[in-house]
C-alpha cells in the first residue's frame, strides 16, 4: 500500500509564519519536502491583528515552500491558537436498544457530548474522545460490537471564539489558500512531540511560543486538558526591555544570550553588557530574575488550571517542551520544580528528509500538522471499512467539527 | 360499615342545574379546551376564541369565535395585547351572545401573548356585564419567555381580577419545573394544559354535581381567597379495592401541591371526594384522614362529597386551595419562582407599597412629601372603608417602579381609566396629588403624572429630572394645586354621564376601578367586592372622562371631556389606540428636554471616565500596551511579572 499524499501545514505564529510541505506514505512515515518561513508581523499573542501584513508573510513563506518542495500548494492545514481557546471535558450518555453498539450509536453519543454549554460566541474546534463506558462499568477505547444498556463517552471538547478563528481563516483564504482543516496548535504539536507511549504514560506538552503558551495534557492515552495562555517568549523580552529600559531587540539578545529560567548557579556579581559596546553593564542575575518571575507565573497558572481540570490527582508522568521559548536555559529545572514532574526529551520523530530542522522544537506545530493530516486522511479514507482503526485514530486526535 | 347509597333521585340538588361555558382565549386557552374535550366534559360547552384562524380551525371545541376578523384578517396578534384587545372588541357581540344565559363561565387563558393578554380582559368584562359567575384561569408565562411577556401577563391578570369572581393563577414555571424538568417545552406546556383542564373540570364538578355534602361557590371562593394567590390544586382518581388511598396519593402527587408540602401551610383547603353510588363512608373517612395528615391543624377544611355516576368504580379526590405568591415562594424549592414572587412582593404593588412614593417624595418639596406620607398612613390604619380604599388605589399606580410598566400604564390610559382613577383621587384627596410631584426617576410613572398635570406641559413632560429640575422654579405649591382645580370639574361632570354608560359599574365597582389601575393589587378582589361597592361608587365613574386627557392634555376646559365621555365605549378605546403612541412618544421625548439634571449627571460620569483613563497608563506594558486585556486571575499578564511581584 504505497499510497502517498502531500500535505501542507501552516502555522501563523507570533514570531514566525511557517509553512511545511510533507509527503506521507501509507506505512505512516513522513517526509518533509520543503519548508518556507518568514518572520511574522501583524500577529499578536497567536492571533491575526493585521491581515495585510500577515498575508504578506504567508505569501513569502508559501513561495519559499513551493520553491523548495517543488509542489504547488493549494490547500493547507492551519493551526490556530490564542488565549480564547479552551478545553473542557464532558460526558454524554445514550440508552441502547439492546443490540450491539454500532457506529450510529457512537455518533449519537458524540452528539450528546457536544451538547454542552459553551459561550455563545464560541465554536467547537475539536471533540476528542477519551473513553467509552458501557453500562458505566468498563472503560474502553472501542465499544463497537459490545452490547449493553447504556453507552457513555467522555469527550474532551476544545472550543474558541468563532470570530477570532474566522479572522485567521479569512486571512489565509485571502492569500489565496484553501483551508482543509483548522487544528488547535498543541493538538498538532502533540502529534510530533509525543508518541503513543508517552501519551499512555501520561504527558504534558507545553508549547511555549512567542505570544502564547499552549498546553495539552494526556493521561492514560486520552486528552484530559488543553488550553492556551496569552504569554510567551515575547513577554519575556518585553519584560526585560521594560525593566532594564533597553530596546526590544537588545532585550531579545540579552534573553537568548544570558537568560536563564533557573536562578541557581548564577553568580550574584556576574555582569553582562547592556549595550553593544559594553559600556553599560547589568547584573545577569537581574535578567534571570525577570525571566524567572515571568515563567514561574506562567507555569503556575497552567499548573493550577491543570490541577483543576484533571482532578483526581492524575498527573502525567512527564513534561514535554516545545516551542521556541523552550530553548531557554534552566527551563527544565523550573518546570520540574513547578509541576513536580520530570522533563522528558523529545523522541526523535520518525521524519525523513531535511530533518535537521525538525529536531528544533520550533517546528513541532507545522510538522505536527502534516502528521495530523496524515492521520485524518487515513481515517477518512478507510472510514467504514476499517472502523476500528478509524476509532483508534479518532481517539488520538479526534475527528473535526 | 354503612353504605352511603346515594341515588341520583335522592339528591337534593337534582333540581338546580347549572349551565356552564368554558371559554378558551388564545392559543394556550385553546389547548386547554382541547384537553378538556379530549378528556370528555359534556357538562360544559366549550368555546374557543382566537385571532389566529389556523389555530382556531384546528381546535376541537364545539363553538369557535374568531376575534378581530376584520382587524387581523385571521392572523395572530404577534404578541401585541393592544391588537388582542381590539380584536376582542370587534367580536364583542359574538362573545356576548356566547356568554349570555349561562350561570357560570370559565375563561382560561394563557397570559403573556397578544391574544391572551389583550382579549381576555375584554372577554371577562363582557362576561361580567352579562352577570355570569366568572372564574378565570390565567397561566403566567414561563420565565424563559421573557420579562416583557411576564409584564403583559401581569397587567392582563390585574385587569381580569377586576372582573372575575375568582381567579386561579397557574405559574407555568412552577409546573414546568415540577412535572417535567427535563422534558421539552412542548411537554411542559402540555402538562400545564392538563392540569388546568383537570382543575376546570374538578371545579365544574364541584359546583355542579350533586353531592350529599354540597360544596358551593362560596366554599370555592373561600378556598381560593388570598392575596395575589396561586392556586394549589390536586386531583386524583383511582379504582379498585384501595382506591381511597390511591386517589389521595395521586392527588398529592399533583405538582401544584408539591407532594402535599404546600398543603401544610394553606389556610383554607377545599376537599371534595366524589364517586359513584358505590362510594362508602369508610372511603371518605380514609381520604380525609390521609389528607388531614398533610394539613395543619388550624386549617379551615371545606369538605364536600359529590356523586358522579360517570366515575363508575372510580373514586376521585379534588383538593383546591391557594397560597399567596410570597408564601409559596418561601416554601417552594424552585429559585425562579422565588425570584418571581419576590419581585412581586418587592414591588410596591400591595396596598402599603405606597411607601416608596413617600420615600421618593422626600427630596422634593416638603409639602408634597408630607402629604404623601399621610396618604399611605391612612389606608394602613383605616379599615377597608371607602376613603381608605380610594387612597390605596391610586397609590400603587404612582409607585409602580418598573420601566416596563410604561406599556401597561399606557394601556390603562388607553382605556382612559387609569387616568380616571388617579384624577378623581386627585380631586378628592389632596394627598393623592403627591404621586405627581414625587416623581421617581422611573419613566413608568410618567403617564400617571401626565394626568393630573396634563395642563402643565412642562412638568408633565419631564420624567426623571422633572421633579428636581422644574419643581423648584414654580414653587411646589402651585403645581400641586393646579391639577386639582382643573381636575375637579371633569370628574364631577363625568360622574352623572357615565353612571349610565358604564355597565360594569353597578356590577363591580371595584373591578372597574381596578381595571383603571392596571397595577393595583387585586387583593380585595374577593373580600372587598362585597363590602365596598357603595363607598367606592364615585370612583369608577370618571374613567371615560379621563380618556380625553391623554388625548388632549392641553385643553383645560373640563366640559369637553365630559361631553365626549358620553360617547360609545368603543370610541373611547379606538381613540386610545393612538394615545399610547403619543404618550410613549412624549415620554421618550422628555429626556431630550434641556434640563439641568441630566447635564449634571453626565459630568460626574465623564469625570469618572477620565479618572479611569488616567489610571490606565501607569502600569507599563511595553509592546503590549495596545493589546486587549490579558488579565488572568486578577493579574495583568502583559505587565512584567518582575515589576508586579516586586511591588
Distance from C-alpha of B596 to C-alpha of A251, rounded to nearest angstrom? 55
Q: Is the peptide bond before A176 cis (omega within 30 degrees of 0)?
A: yes
Asked whether residue A313 falls in the same domain as residue A364, the answer is: no
Residue B643 lies in a domain: no
A377/chain B closest Cα distance in angstroms: 37
Q: Do B642 and A45 touch (CB under 8 A)?
A: no
**Which among B161, B194, B210 is the end of a domain?**
B210
Query: Is a pLDDT exceeding 70 seen at residue A195?
Result: yes
Count structural domains, chain B.
Answer: 3
Which residue does chain B place closest to A288, by CA atoms?
B642
A to B CB pairs, distance under 8 Å? 57
Q: What secondary structure letter does DSSP report for B269?
A: E
Same domain flag for B305 and B372: no
What average pLDDT score do residues B212-218 get?
70
Mean pLDDT of chain A: 81
* Better-scored residue on pLDDT, B1 or A164: A164
Highest-confidence segment of A333-342, A384-393, B234-243, B486-495: A333-342
Among A52-61, B108-117, B333-342, whose mean pLDDT is lowest? B333-342
Instruction: Clarify whether residues A303 and A204 are in a common domain.
Output: yes
The percentage of residues in chain B with a pLDDT greater than 90, rounded to a whole number, is 0
pLDDT of B158-171, one tens digit each? 888 888 877 777 77
Q: Is residue B618 part of a domain?
A: no
- Window A:285-324, CB contacts with B under 8 Å: 289-290, 293-294, 296-297, 301
Q: What mean pLDDT do residues A52-73 have?
A: 89
Identify whether residues A216 and A316 lie together within a single domain. Answer: yes
pLDDT at A363: 77
For strands B63-66 and B104-110, give the pairing.
Answer: unpaired
Is the same domain home to B330 and B451? no
Q: State whether B637 and A235 contact (CB < 8 Å).
A: yes
The residue from A158, A178, A213 where one domain ends is A158
Mutate which: A49, A211, A235, A289, vs B, most B CBs within 10 A: A235
Contact indicator for A85, A158 with CB cutoff of 8 Å: yes
Of A16-25, A348-357, B84-93, B303-312, the poorest mean pLDDT is in A348-357
Minimum distance, in Å, between the CA of residue A287 and any CA atom of chain B: 10
Q: Are residues B424 and B566 in the same domain?
A: yes
ipTM of this complex prediction, to 2 decimal places: 0.71
- Residue B383 sits in the same domain as residue B339: no
Mean pLDDT of A340-355: 64
Give the pLDDT band of residue A25 (cuts 50, 70, 90).
confident
Q: What is the pLDDT of residue B449?
A: 39
Considering the domain architecture, whether residues B333 and B190 belong to the same structural domain is answered as: no
Chain A: nearest CA to B184, how far in angstroms?
Answer: 15
Average of pLDDT values for B381-393?
38
Q: What is the pLDDT of residues B395-413, one digit of tens each?
A: 333 333 433 333 333 333 3
Q: Which of B623, B638, B642 sits opposite A248 (nearest CB)?
A: B623
Same structural domain, A317 and A252? yes
Give the closest of A234, A243, A301 to B643, CB-based: A243
Are both A31 and A118 inside the same structural domain? Answer: no
Query: Does residue A319 surpass a pLDDT of 80?
Result: yes
Helix B114-130 vs helix B147-163: angle between axes, to the nearest 10 degrees?
Answer: 0
Q: Is the pLDDT at B575 greater than 70, yes or no?
A: no
Residues B39, B176 within the same domain:
yes
Range of the domain at B176: 16-210
Containing structural domain, residue A154: 86-158
Element housing B109 (H / E): strand B104-110
Total residues belonging to chain A: 401
pLDDT value, residue B209: 67
Contact state of A294 with B640 under an 8 Å Cβ cutoff: yes
Which of these ranges, A160-174, A386-400, B452-466, has the smallest mean pLDDT? B452-466
Mean pLDDT of B146-156: 84
Same-domain status, B192 and B333: no
* pLDDT band at residue B149 using 50, 70 and 90 as cut-offs: confident
* Confidence grade of residue B135 (pLDDT, cut at 50, 70, 90): confident
The pLDDT of residue B88 is 84
- Min mean pLDDT across A324-338, B106-120, B329-343 is at B329-343
Residue B155 C-alpha cell reads as 397587567
Convert A103-171 into a string of H (helix), E (strand) and C (coil): HHHHHHHHHHHCCCCCCCCEEEEEEEEEEEEECCCEEECCCCCCECCEEEEEEEEEEEEHHHHHHHHHH
Q: Do B640 and A238 touch (CB under 8 A)?
A: yes
| CATH code for the domain in which residue B305 is found | 3.40.50.1440
What does the radius of gyration of chain A's CA atoms come to, in whole angstroms? Answer: 22
Instruction: Give percent of chain A above pLDDT 90.
Output: 5
Contact B621 A238 (CB under 8 A): yes
For residue B425, pLDDT over 80 is answered with no
Q: What is the CATH number of the domain that holds A31?
A: 3.30.420.40
Question: Which of A163, A167, A237, A242 to mutate against chain B (most B CBs within 10 Å)?
Answer: A242
Q: Which of A44, A248, A289 sits opposite B642 (nearest CB)?
A: A289
| Residue pLDDT, tens place only, A85-130 | 988 888 888 888 777 888 888 888 888 888 777 888 888 888 888 8
Interacting residues of A128 by C-beta distance below 8 A, sequence separation 6+: A155, A156, A157, A158, A187, A222, A223, A394, A395, A397, A398
pLDDT of residue A184: 92
Residues B460 and B574 placed together within one structural domain of the fold = yes
- What is the pLDDT of chain B when averaged over all its residues? 59
Closest Cβ opposite residue A297 in set B622, B627, B641: B641
How large is the average pLDDT for residues A26-42? Answer: 82
Selecting from B620, B621, B641 the residue whose C-beta is nearest the C-beta of A294 gives: B641
Q: What is the rounded CA–CA span in Å between residue B221 and residue B63? A: 28
Confidence of residue A361 (pLDDT cuts 50, 70, 90): low
Q: Do B113 and B231 belong together in one domain?
A: no
Inter-chain CB proximity A239 and B635 less than 8 Å: no
Tell me how far apart the terminal alpha carbons of chain A are, to the nearest angstrom: 29
Q: Is the pLDDT of residue B639 over 60?
A: yes
Q: Which of B346, B368, B393 is the last residue of a domain?
A: B346
Predicted confidence (pLDDT) at residue B255 exceeds the cutoff of 80: no
The predicted pLDDT at position B526 comes to: 38
Res. B34: pLDDT tops 70: yes
Same domain, residue pair A121 and A12: no
The reply to whether B153 and B77 lie within a common domain is: yes
Q: pLDDT category, B620, cuts 50, 70, 90?
A: low
To test the contact with chain B by mutation, choose from A42, A45, A287, A295 the residue with the greatest count of B C-beta atoms within 10 A, namely A45
- Does residue B226 or residue B2 have the better pLDDT? B226
Of the listed ranges A165-179, B1-15, B302-316, the one predicted with least confidence: B1-15
Number of domains in chain A: 3
Whether B195 shows a pLDDT value over 50: the answer reads yes
Mean pLDDT of B547-575: 38
Q: Is the pLDDT of residue B224 over 80?
A: no
Kindly determine whether residue A301 and residue B632, on different chains, have CB atoms separated by under 8 Å: yes
Q: Could you say which residues from 218 to 277 on chain B have a Cβ atom under 8 Å away from some Cβ of chain A?
A: none
pLDDT for the residue B448: 38
B515-560 confidence digits (pLDDT tens): 444 433 433 333 333 333 343 434 333 444 343 444 444 444 444 4
Report chain A residues whose CB lies below 8 A from the CB of B620: 242
Average pLDDT over every residue of B478-501: 40
Residue B474 has pLDDT above 60, yes or no: no
Contacts of A248 in chain B (CB under 8 A): 622-623
Q: How far is B629 from chain A (nearest CA, A)?
A: 10
pLDDT attached to residue B179? 53
Mean pLDDT to the nearest integer, A282-294: 89
pLDDT over 60 at B437, yes or no: no
Q: Is the pLDDT of residue A400 over 80?
A: no
The answer to whether A339 and A319 have CB atoms below 8 angstroms apart is yes
Q: What is the pLDDT of residue B385?
A: 38
**Looking at residue B503, what is its pLDDT?**
38
Q: Is the Cβ of B70 closer than 8 Å to some Cβ of chain A?
A: no
pLDDT at B476 over 80: no
User: Domain boundary residue among B315, B331, B346?
Assistant: B346
Query: Mean pLDDT: which of A268-282, B335-349, B470-484 is highest?
Result: A268-282
Task: Specify whether B299 is located in the same domain as B382.
Answer: no
CB-nearest to A243 from B627, B632, B642 is B642
* Each residue's pLDDT tens digit, B300-344: 888 888 777 777 788 888 888 877 666 665 554 433 333 333 333
- 3-state SS of B143-187 is HHHCHHHHHHHHHHHHHHHHHCCEEEEEEHHHHHHHHCCCCCHHH
Between positions 588 and 647 of B, the ones with CB within 8 A of A are 620-624, 627, 630, 632-633, 635, 637-638, 640-643, 645
With CA atoms as reference, report the closest residue to B146 among B119, B180, B112.
Answer: B112
Mean pLDDT, residues B503-524: 39
Task: Tell me: do A214 and A233 sit in the same domain.
Answer: yes
Q: What share of chain A is helix, strand, coil (3-state, %, to 5)?
A: 40, 30, 30
Domain boundary among A135, A158, A181: A158
What mean pLDDT is predicted for residues A243-260? 87
Distance CA A290, CA A238 (A): 10
Q: Are residues A375 and A270 in the same domain?
A: no
Query: Min CA distance, A94 vs chain B (Å)?
Result: 15
CB neighbour list of residue A166: distance below 8 Å, 6 or more residues apart: none
Establish if B142 belongs to a structural domain: yes
Q: Which residue has the cell 422611573?
A: B442
Q: Tell me: do A185 and A210 sit in the same domain.
A: no
pLDDT confidence of residue B18: 66
Q: How far apart are CA B372 and CA B370, in angstroms?
A: 5
Statement: residue A315 has pLDDT above 80: no
Amino acid at each position: 500500500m504505497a499510497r502517498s499524499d502531500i500535505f501542507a501545514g501552516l502555522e501563523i505564529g507570533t514570531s514566525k509564519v511557517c509553512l511545511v510541505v510533507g509527503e506521507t506514505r501509507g506505512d505512516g512515515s513522513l517526509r518533509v519536502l520543503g519548508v518556507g518561513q518568514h518572520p511574522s508581523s501583524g500577529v499578536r499573542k497567536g492571533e491575526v491583528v493585521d491581515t495585510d501584513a500577515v498575508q504578506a508573510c504567508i505569501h513569502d513563506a508559501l513561495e519559499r515552500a513551493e520553491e523548495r518542495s517543488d509542489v504547488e500548494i493549494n490547500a493547507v492545514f492551519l493551526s490556530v491558537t490564542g488565549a480564547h481557546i479552551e478545553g473542557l471535558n464532558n460526558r454524554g450518555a445514550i440508552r441502547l436498544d439492546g443490540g450491539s453498539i454500532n457506529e450510529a450509536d457512537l455518533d449519537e453519543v458524540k452528539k450528546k457530548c457536544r451538547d454542552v454549554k459553551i459561550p455563545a460566541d464560541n465554536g467547537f474546534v475539536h471533540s476528542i474522545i477519551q473513553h467509552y463506558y458501557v453500562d458505566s462499568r468498563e472503560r474502553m477505547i472501542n465499544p463497537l460490537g459490545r452490547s449493553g444498556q447504556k453507552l457513555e463517552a467522555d469527550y474532551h471538547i476544545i472550543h474558541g471564539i468563532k470570530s477570532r478563528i474566522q479572522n485567521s481563516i479569512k486571512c489565509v483564504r485571502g492569500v489565496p489558500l484553501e483551508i482543509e482543516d483548522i487544528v488547535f496548535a498543541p493538538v498538532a504539536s502533540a502529534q510530533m512531540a509525543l508518541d503513543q507511549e508517552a501519551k499512555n504514560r501520561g504527558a504534558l506538552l507545553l508549547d511555549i511560543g512567542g505570544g502564547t503558551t499552549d498546553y495539552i495534557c494526556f493521561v492514560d492515552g486520552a486528552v484530559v486538558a488543553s488550553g492556551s495562555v496569552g504569554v510567551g517568549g515575547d513577554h519575556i523580552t518585553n519584560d526585560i526591555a521594560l525593566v532594564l529600559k533597553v530596546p526590544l531587540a537588545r532585550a531579545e539578545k540579552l534573553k537568548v544570550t544570558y537568560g536563564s529560567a533557573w536562578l541557581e548557579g548564577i553568580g550574584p556579581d556576574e555582569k553582562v553588557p547592556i549595550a553593544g559596546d559594553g559600556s553599560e553593564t547589568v547584573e545577569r542575575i537581574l535578567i534571570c530574575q525577570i525571566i524567572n518571575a515571568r515563567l514561574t507565573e506562567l507555569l503556575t497558572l497552567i499548573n493550577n488550571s491543570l490541577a483543576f481540570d484533571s482532578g483526581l490527582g492524575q498527573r502525567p508522568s512527564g513534561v514535554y517542551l516545545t516551542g521556541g521559548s523552550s530553548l531557554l536555559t534552566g527551563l527544565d529545572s523550573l518546570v520540574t520544580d513547578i509541576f513536580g514532574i520530570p522533563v522528558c526529551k523529545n523522541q526523535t520523530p520518525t521524519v525523513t528528509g531535511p530533518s535537521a530542522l525538525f529536531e528544533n522544537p520550533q517546528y513541532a506545530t507545522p510538522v505536527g500538522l502534516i502528521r495530523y493530516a496524515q492521520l485524518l486522511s487515513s481515517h477518512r479514507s478507510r472510514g467504514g471499512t476499517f472502523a476500528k482503526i478509524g476509532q483508534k485514530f479518532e481517539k488520538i486526535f479526534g475527528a473535526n467539527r | 360499615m354503612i353504605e352511603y347509597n346515594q341515588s341520583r333521585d335522592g339528591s337534593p340538588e337534582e333540581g338546580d342545574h347549572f349551565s356552564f361555558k368554558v371559554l378558551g382565549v388564545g392559543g394556550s386557552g385553546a389547548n386547554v379546551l382541547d384537553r378538556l374535550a379530549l378528556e370528555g366534559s359534556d357538562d360544559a360547552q366549550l368555546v374557543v376564541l382566537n385571532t389566529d384562524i389556523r389555530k382556531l380551525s384546528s381546535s376541537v371545541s364545539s363553538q369557535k369565535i374568531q376575534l378581530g376578523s376584520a382587524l387581523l384578517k385571521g392572523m395572530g396578534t404577534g404578541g401585541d395585547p393592544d391588537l388582542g384587545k381590539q380584536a376582542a372588541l370587534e367580536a364583542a357581540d359574538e362573545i356576548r351572545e356566547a356568554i349570555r344565559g349561562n350561570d357560570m363561565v370559565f375563561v382560561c387563558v394563557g397570559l403573556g401573548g397578544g391574544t391572551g393578554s389583550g382579549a381576555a380582559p375584554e372577554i371577562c368584562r363582557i362576561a361580567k356585564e352579562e352577570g355570569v359567575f366568572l372564574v378565570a384561569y390565567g397561566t403566567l408565562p414561563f420565565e424563559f419567555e421573557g420579562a416583557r411577556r411576564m409584564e403583559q401577563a401581569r397587567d392582563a391578570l390585574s385587569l381580569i381580577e377586576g372582573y372575575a369572581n375568582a381567579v386561579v393563577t397557574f405559574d407555568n414555571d412552577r409546573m414546568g419545573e415540577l412535572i417535567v424538568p427535563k422534558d421539552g417545552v412542548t411537554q411542559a406546556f402540555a402538562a400545564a394544559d392538563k392540569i388546568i383542564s383537570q382543575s376546570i373540570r374538578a371545579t365544574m364538578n364541584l359546583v355542579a354535581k350533586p353531592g350529599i355534602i354540597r360544596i358551593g361557590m362560596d366554599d370555592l371562593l373561600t378556598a381560593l381567597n388570598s392575596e395575589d394567590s396561586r392556586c394549589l390544586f390536586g386531583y386524583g382518581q383511582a379504582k379498585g379495592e384501595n382506591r381511597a388511598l390511591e386517589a389521595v396519593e395521586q392527588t398529592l402527587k399533583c405538582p401544584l401541591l408539591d407532594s402535599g408540602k404546600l398543603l401544610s401551610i394553606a389556610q383554607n383547603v377545599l376537599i371534595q371526594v366524589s364517586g359513584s353510588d358505590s362510594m362508602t363512608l369508610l372511603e371518605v373517612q380514609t381520604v380525609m384522614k390521609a389528607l388531614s395528615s398533610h394539613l395543619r391543624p388550624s386549617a379551615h377544611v371545606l369538605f364536600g362529597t359529590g356523586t358522579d355516576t360517570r366515575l363508575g368504580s372510580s373514586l376521585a379526590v379534588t383538593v383546591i386551595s391557594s397560597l399567596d405568591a410570597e408564601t409559596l415562594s418561601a416554601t417552594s424549592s424552585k429559585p425562579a419562582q422565588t425570584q418571581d414572587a419576590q419581585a412581586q412582593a418587592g414591588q410596591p404593588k400591595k396596598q402599603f407599597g405606597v411607601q416608596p412614593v413617600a420615600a421618593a417624595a422626600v427630596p422634593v418639596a416638603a409639602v408634597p412629601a408630607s402629604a404623601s406620607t399621610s396618604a399611605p398612613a391612612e389606608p394602613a390604619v383605616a379599615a377597608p372603608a371607602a376613603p381608605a380604599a380610594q387612597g390605596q388605589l391610586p397609590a400603587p399606580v404612582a409607585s409602580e417602579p418598573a420601566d416596563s410598566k410604561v406599556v401597561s400604564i399606557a394601556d390603562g390610559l388607553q382605556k382612559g381609566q387609569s387616568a380616571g382613577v388617579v384624577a378623581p383621587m386627585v380631586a378628592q384627596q389632596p394627598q393623592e396629588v403627591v404621586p405627581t410631584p414625587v416623581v421617581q426617576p422611573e419613566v413608568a410613572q410618567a403617564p400617571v403624572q401626565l394626568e393630573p398635570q396634563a395642563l402643565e406641559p412642562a412638568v408633565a413632560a419631564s420624567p426623571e429630572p422633572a421633579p428636581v429640575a422644574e419643581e423648584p422654579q414654580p414653587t411646589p405649591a402651585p403645581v400641586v394645586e393646579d391639577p386639582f382645580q382643573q381636575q375637579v370639574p371633569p370628574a364631577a361632570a363625568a360622574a352623572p354621564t357615565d353612571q349610565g354608560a358604564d355597565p360594569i359599574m353597578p356590577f363591580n365597582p371595584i373591578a372597574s376601578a381596578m381595571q383603571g389601575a392596571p397595577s393595583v393589587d387585586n387583593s380585595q378582589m374577593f373580600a372587598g367586592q362585597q363590602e365596598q361597592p357603595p363607598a367606592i361608587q364615585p370612583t369608577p365613574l370618571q374613567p371615560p372622562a379621563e380618556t380625553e386627557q391623554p388625548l388632549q392634555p392641553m385643553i383645560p376646559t373640563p366640559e369637553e371631556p365630559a361631553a365626549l365621555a358620553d360617547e360609545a365605549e368603543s370610541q373611547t378605546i379606538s381613540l386610545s389606540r393612538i394615545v399610547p403612541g403619543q404618550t410613549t412618544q412624549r415620554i421618550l421625548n422628555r429626556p431630550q428636554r434641556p434640563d439641568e439634571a441630566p447635564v449634571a449627571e453626565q459630568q460626574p460620569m465623564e469625570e469618572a471616565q477620565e479618572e479611569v483613563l488616567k489610571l490606565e497608563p501607569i502600569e507599563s506594558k511595553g509592546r503590549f500596551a495596545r493589546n486587549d486585556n490579558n488579565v488572568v486571575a486578577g493579574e495583568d499578564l502583559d505587565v512584567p511579572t518582575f515589576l508586579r511581584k516586586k511591588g
